[in-house]
C-alpha cells in the first residue's frame, strides 16, 4: 500500500506560537536551525506547510529549509503516531509469516510503511531482527513486545491502544 499524504492539522494557535518564536529569534545569528527546532517542538514534525510558514516569516528560500530538514536526522518530515508499531521482518519472523501480520495491520489501519493514521494514533514501520527469533513472529507497539503473532490477533492487540 502506498503511503498517502497525511493531512496537515496545524492550528492557528500553533502558527501564532511559531511566529512569536521567530520574532524572538529573528536577530540571533544563525537563527534558522533554532527556529526549525522550535517548530518541530510545536508541531511534532516539519511538514512542507510548516516549512512554508518559516520560509515566509524569515524570508529564507524554502529549498534552503528543505535542505536543512533533510540533512539532519532529527528533523521529521512525516508525523509520528502516539503509538509506534513495528513489525519484525527479519528472517526468522519472515519465514513464520510476519509479512502477513504486517499486511493485516496495514489493512486494518489503512496505512503503509512509514505511514501514520489520520487521527495520529498509530504509525507503522517494519524493522529488521529485534533479537527475539525464538518468539517469532514478533511485533512491537512502543516498548511492548507481542510474540508468536497471528493475523487473527492483530485486532485484539491494536484495540489495547485505540
Partner 1 sequence: MTDNIITSLADTSFYKIQRRIALKNCGVIDPENIDEYLAMDGYMALHKVLTEMTPDDVIQVMLDSGLRGRGGAGFPTGLKWKFAKGYDAPQKYVCCNADEGDPGAFMDRSVLEGDPHVVLEAMAIAGYAIGSSQGYIYVRAEYPVAVKRLNIALQQAREYGLFGKNIYGTGFDFDIDIRLGAGAFVCGEETALMTSIEGNRGEPRPRPPFPAEKGLFQSPSILNNVETWANIPQIILNGADWFSSVGTEKSKGTKVFALGGKIRHTGLVEIPMGTPLSTVIDEIGGGVPNGKKFKAAQTGGPSGGCIPASHINVQMDYEHLAEIGSIMGSGGLIVMDEDNCMVDIAKFFLTFTCDESCGKCTPCRIGTKRMLEILDRITSGKGTMEDIDKLEDLAYYIKDNALCGLGQTAPNPVLSTIRFFRDEYEAHINDRHCPAAVCKELFHYVVDPDKCIGCTQCLRNCPPFAITKTDYIAEGHKLPSVKIDNDKCIKCGACIEKCKFDAISKQ
Residues 60-99, mask of contacts with partner 1 (x by CB under 8 A): ----x--xx--xxxxx---------------xxx-xx---
43-71: burial string, b at 16+ Cβ within 10 Å, e else: bebbbeebbebbbebbebeeeebbebbee
Q: In the range 98-157, which residues lie near partner 1 by CB under 8 A?
A: 129, 133-134, 136
Using CB under 8 A, which of the segments 14-22, 33-41, 81-89, 119-127 binds partner 1? 33-41
Strands (E), the chain: 83-88, 122-127, 139-141, 144-146
H or E element in which residue 107 lies: helix 98-109
> CB 18 → partner 1: shortest distance, Å?
16
| C-beta of 37 vs 121, nearer to partner 1 | 37
Residues in the site for partner 1, rule: CB under 8 A?
A: 28-34, 37, 64, 67-68, 71-75, 91-93, 95-96, 129, 133-134, 136
Amino acid at each position: 500500500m502506498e503511503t498517502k499524504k497525511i493531512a496537515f492539522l496545524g492550528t492557528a494557535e500553533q502558527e501564532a506560537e511559531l511566529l512569536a518564536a521567530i520574532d524572538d529569534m529573528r536577530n540571533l545569528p544563525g537563527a534558522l536551525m533554532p527556529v526549525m527546532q522550535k517548530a518541530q517542538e510545536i508541531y511534532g514534525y516539519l511538514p512542507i506547510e510548516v516549512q512554508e510558514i518559516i520560509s515566509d516569516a524569515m524570508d529564507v528560500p524554502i529549498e534552503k529549509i528543505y535542505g536543512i530538514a533533510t540533512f539532519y536526522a532529527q528533523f521529521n518530515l512525516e508525523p509520528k503516531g502516539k503509538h509506534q508499531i513495528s513489525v519484525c521482518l527479519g528472517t526468522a519472523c519472515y519465514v513464520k509469516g510476519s509479512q502477513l501480520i504486517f499486511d493485516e495491520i496495514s489493512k486494518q489501519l489503512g496505512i503503509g510503511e512509514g505511514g501514520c493514521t489520520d487521527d495520529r494514533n498509530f504509525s507503522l514501520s517494519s524493522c529488521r531482527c529485534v533479537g527475539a527469533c525464538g518468539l517469532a513472529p514478533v511485533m512491537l507497539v512502543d516498548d511492548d513486545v507481542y510474540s508468536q503473532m497471528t493475523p487473527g490477533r492483530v485486532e485484539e492487540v491494536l484495540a489495547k491502544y485505540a
